[in-house]
């Protein structure tokens, strides 16, 4: 089964996994934004916001973990290209309606391939770090709604999530 028949670019003509050759693609500015949520009990959110979590500053640890994860995406996700990231931001906001934390990551590069996986990896690892930092207080926490919100640049054009 060929890549053309499946639409999957990570398969060769024999249907075997391969890393896509992006060397002929033009370099362009690329940005991706992803988000995720960690839903927790109201008491756990209050603990997090108080700065009294036993493991330390939840926000700082999750932010750094997300940034580090974005930089290591190609080591974690098979067939991802290593990218020269020019920017990674991880923004964490409390949301008492969840209750929990909303995490948004922005990744930016100028290159031949997009940064969606880097933004999604940053959000995922930041969420996992929040869980790890607070699990002693609330093992029932849930990581939810990890998704790409938008991306710009590249041949496929821009994407903005409709919902």
132 catalytic, yes or no? yes
Catalytic residue among 57, 89, 91, 132: 132
* DSSP of 32-101: EEEEEEEE--HHHHHHHHHT--TT--HHHHHHHHHHHHHHTHHHHSTTPPP--EEEEEEEEEEETTTTEE
Radius of gyration of the chain (CA): 18
Question: Rounded to an integer, what distance in angstroms lies between the CA atom of residue 97 and that of residue 95?
Answer: 5
Provide the annotated active-site residues: 132
């Amino acid at each position: 089964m060929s890549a053309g028949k499946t639409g999957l670019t990570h398969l060769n003509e024999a249907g075997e996994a391969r890393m896509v050759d992006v060397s002929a693609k033009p370099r362009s500015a690329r940005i991706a934004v992803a988000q995720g949520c960690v839903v927790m009990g109201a008491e756990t959110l209050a603990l997090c916001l108080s700065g009294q979590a036993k493991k330390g500053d939840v926000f700082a640890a999750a932010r750094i973990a997300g940034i580090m994860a974005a930089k290591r995406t190609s080591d974690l996700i098979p067939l991802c290209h290593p990218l020269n990231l020019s920017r990674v931001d991880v923004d964490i906001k409390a949301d008492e309606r969840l209750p929990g934390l909303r995490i948004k990551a922005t990744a930016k590069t100028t290159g031949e391939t997009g940064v969606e996986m880097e933004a999604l990896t940053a959000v995922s690892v930041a969420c996992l770090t929040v869980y790890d930092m607070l699990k002693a207080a609330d093992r029932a926490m849930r990581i939810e709604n990890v998704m790409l919100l938008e991306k710009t640049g590249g041949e496929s054009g821009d994407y903005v999530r409709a919902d």
